[in-house]
Amino acid sequence: MREIIFDTETTGFDPASGDRLVEIGCIELVNRVPTGRTFHAYYNPQRSMPAAAEAVHGLSDIFLSDKPLFAGGADALLAFLEDSPLVAHNARFDFGFLNHELRLCGRPEVSMDRMIDTVAIARQMHPGAKHSLDALCTRYGIDRSHRVKHGALLDAELLAQLYIELTGGRQIGLGLAQEVESVVFRAEPQAAALVRPVHPARVFAPSAEELERHRAFVATLSNPLWLAGSDPA
């Protein structure tokens, strides 16, 4: 199964208020194993970069000034994504910006049915814990010492490792992917659905011999606790 892990960097939080996507990084997984294929691009947002956003990812107006517009690279990005499921951390944010840019350049939007949200998965697995990428990397022992600032491709690489851990761990790379497929986390528009195989109920009925042995044992008891205070007659 082919999946794409991706992350974005932007000028802010809300495309509806004029914020734009400035960087995207994608990692290809096949059966939850990285193939080495990636997609990475910077885009000129055609607007100024707020200081607060630049402090997060370090992408300045000067750096982005000679980068192509999203419209010029949309076809290459869509060709890489194909129709694969798309995995992101707090995926609604990334899907929102990606689809906003696609609308602006007249391309079809990416269906939300393809969205897999690792935040939703983490909430299912670790309720009440911190679910930031940094916190989850620490929980799973994923080295992020080289992450000085946010970067779309770097964060996608970290997220790929985290997604593998959240969906079965490194043993997938040993050819056990099909076992992991029995537990599927898929972020639907409202929440993540946890689907587990249903096993028949086990029967623990005592045999006739066991019942007779129990009756014989009870008959040997003197003043058992459960008869305390009752009329022996």
Helical segments of the chain, H only = 51-57, 61-64, 70-81, 91-104, 118-125, 133-139, 152-166, 177-180, 208-219
Binding residues for substrate are 7, 9, 57, 155
DSSP-derived secondary structure letter, 223:
S
pLDDT given for residue 84 in this prediction: 98
Q: Which of 79-93, 155-169, 171-185, 207-221 has the lowest mean pLDDT?
A: 171-185
User: Average pLDDT of 141-155?
Assistant: 85
Active-site residue, selected from the candidate residues 89, 100, 131, 150? 150
Please indicate whether residue 92 or residue 232 has the higher confidence score (pLDDT).
92
pLDDT given for residue 194 in this prediction: 44
Say yes or no to pLDDT of 183 above 70.
no
Contact 155, 118 (CB under 8 A): no
Domains contained in the chain, CATH given = 2-195 (3.30.420.10)
Please indicate whether residue 4 or residue 185 has the higher confidence score (pLDDT).
4
CA triple 189-107-90, angle to 5 deg: 30
Q: Is residue 150 annotated as a catalytic residue, yes or no?
A: yes
* Averaged pLDDT of the chain: 86
Say yes or no to pLDDT of 186 above 60.
no
pLDDT given for residue 203 in this prediction: 62
Residue pLDDT, tens place only, 35-69: 999 999 999 999 999 999 999 999 999 999 999 99
Say yes or no to pLDDT of 8 above 90.
yes
Contact 11, 47 (CB under 8 A): yes
What pLDDT band is residue 216 in, cutting at 50, 70 and 90? confident
pLDDT given for residue 171 in this prediction: 55
Q: Which of 22-26, 74-78, 79-83, 146-150 has the lowest mean pLDDT?
A: 146-150
Binding residues are 7, 9, 57, 155
Binding residues for a divalent metal cation are 7, 9, 155
